[in-house]
């Protein structure tokens, strides 16, 4: 589904005015146009203590083409899963928002905002399913051209979230195939690098490098991988 056009946002996200801090703004709203304007500028929303905050980490976690590390054991695990796309966006975001998860931060406002973005063709999910078709892992995020801005992932089986990430990488490679043997030009934003993500190949980019890179990745052509 090609993302539906959005009206201009009344809120301005200006990186030149941001402080040298991960948190760059507070307030605004979670309207689709506001969220997309933020991502296009290099920021994303995340509430804290009932306040809507906007973040653009000084060191941004990213996964580049060809960087995903798939160990032999992970490759073996992946064979036991099936990957689907956009079949259960609500189920994925609800699993990611489970209040029993450590560090859970997705509230009802965020949930409804991203479900609306999914309905408008901007937000997508990658689901991991077991042999019976049950949802056992997955991730969701926004697709802005060749930039996939990941929001959250979950797993109910060992390696199920890793399988979803590997599935996303395969989708992006296939969706932006340039008919050569070279890795295609896309980027996955994971917000912050963690030891777990670092083990999968996620590296840190300074904010300046990230902002410069995404300016050339956004907008058409949108890949057909979400249809």
> Which residues face 140 on adjacent strands?
125, 152
pLDDT the model gives residue 181:
45
Q: Is residue 8 part of a domain?
A: no
137 vs 89: CA distance, rounded Å:
12
For residue 80, pLDDT over 90 is answered with yes
> Domain containing 31: what range?
15-58
pLDDT digits (tens, 9 = 90+) for 40-54: 999 999 999 989 999
**CA–CA separation, 98 and 106 (whole Å):** 8
Per-residue pLDDT at 131: 96
Could you identify the residue written with the tokens 């991203």?
114
CATH code, domain with 102: 3.40.630.70
Asked if the structure places residue 24 within a domain, the reply is yes
The count of domains in the chain is 2
- Say how many C-beta atoms besides its own lie within 10 A of residue 50's C-beta: 7
Residues 54 and 65 in one domain: no
- The verdict on pTM exceeding 0.85 is yes
pLDDT attached to residue 55? 98
């Amino acid at each position: 589904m090609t993302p539906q056009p959005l009206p201009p946002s009344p809120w301005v996200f200006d990186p030149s005015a941001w402080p040298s801090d991960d948190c760059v703004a507070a307030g605004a709203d979670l309207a689709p146009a506001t969220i997309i304007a933020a991502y296009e500028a290099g920021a994303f929303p995340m509430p804290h203590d009932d306040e809507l905050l906007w973040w653009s980490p000084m060191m941004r976690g990213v996964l580049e083409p060809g960087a995903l590390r798939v160990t032999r054991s992970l490759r073996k695990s992946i064979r036991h899963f099936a990957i689907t796309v956009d079949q259960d966006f609500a189920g994925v975001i609800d699993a990611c928002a489970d209040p029993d998860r450590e560090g859970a931060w997705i509230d009802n406002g965020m949930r409804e905002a991203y479900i609306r973005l999914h309905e408008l063709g901007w937000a997508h999910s990658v689901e991991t399913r077991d042999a019976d078709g049950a949802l056992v892992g997955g991730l969701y995020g926004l697709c802005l051209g060749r930039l996939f801005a990941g929001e959250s992932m979950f797993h109910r089986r060992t390696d199920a979230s890793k399988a979803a990430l590997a599935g996303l990488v395969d989708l992006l490679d296939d969706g932006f195939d340039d008919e050569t043997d070279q890795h295609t030009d896309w980027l996955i934003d994971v917000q912050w690098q963690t030891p777990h993500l670092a083990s999968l190949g996620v590296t840190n980019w300074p904010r300046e490098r990230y902002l410069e890179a995404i300016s050339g990745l956004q907008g058409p052509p949108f890949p057909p991988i979400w249809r």
